[in-house]
Structure 1
Amino acid sequence: MLGKNTLKRHAELVDQMATHVGVDLEDSAIGGDVSIDQISDAVLRCSDCSNPDHCAQFLAQSAQGQKTPEYCRNTSLFDRLTSLSESKRDG
């Protein structure tokens, strides 16, 4: 079982990565684009990452608006939410 601190750290990484790619998870959840269960699943996928320190370093050093790193376990979720967010802005 994952500890509280581990889950909290990965929840923060998921939120930071979403923000990094231009997605506001809270707005996406309120708008119905993502469920709380899907966000929870994203945190669990993130917690399976073997190198969260590299992810944190990537987020600290990369310009906002870039793609997720190739090893990110939530790339498909973030890509889908980014597309939805862009289409709402354009539409």
Structure 2
Amino acid sequence: MIDQCQLKKHADLFTRMGDAVGVDLQEEAIKGNLQFDEIAESVLRCTRCGQVEACQQWLSEARATPAAQSPDYCRNGDLLAFLKLDEAET
């Protein structure tokens, strides 16, 4: 079972990954492009990733230089790419 601390950690990673690729997840939720259940599933998907340390390192490096896309191993990469494309079109 996933504990609350782990959920918070992965919620933070998901938010930071969105920021790193130029997707404001909060704004997407406000606009209705991202539903609560999608956010919850994205955080759970992140908890199942085996690349947490690599992700944290990647995010640290991306802080200095925004990335065009998330790393290949990101389990939420497709969702973030879709949201980024949607933001670009509006």
Q: State the TM-score bracket (shorter-chain normalisation).
A: over 0.9
Out of 64, 73, 80, the residue aligned to residue 82 of structure 2 is 80
Distance in 2 (CA, whole Å) between partners of 1:82 and 1:55 is 19
Query: Is the Cα contact below 8 Å between 2:51 and 2:73 reproduced in 1?
Result: no
What aligned pairs does 1:19-58 form with structure 2 within 5 A after superposition? 19-58=19-58
Q: Please state how far the C-alpha of 1:65 moved relative to its aligned partner.
A: 3.0
* Structure-2-length-normalised TM-score: 0.93
Distance in 2 (CA, whole Å) between partners of 1:65 and 1:54 is 15
* Structure-1-length-normalised TM-score: 0.92
Q: Please state how far the C-alpha of 1:51 moved relative to its aligned partner.
A: 2.2
Cα deviation 1:24-80 (Å, max 9, x = unaligned): 111000101110110110000000001211101100012213311100000110011
Distance in 2 (CA, whole Å) between partners of 1:49 and 1:38 is 17
What percent of counterpart residues are identical? 36
Distance in 2 (CA, whole Å) between partners of 1:65 and 1:75 is 12
Cα deviation 1:9-38 (Å, max 9, x = unaligned): 000000000011111111000101110110
Q: How many correspondences in the alignment?
A: 88
Distance in 1 (CA, whole Å) between partners of 2:39 and 2:66 is 21
Distance in 2 (CA, whole Å) between partners of 1:51 and 1:7 is 16
Runs of 4+ in 1 over 6 A off after TM superposition: none
Structure 1 SS opposite 2:42: helix
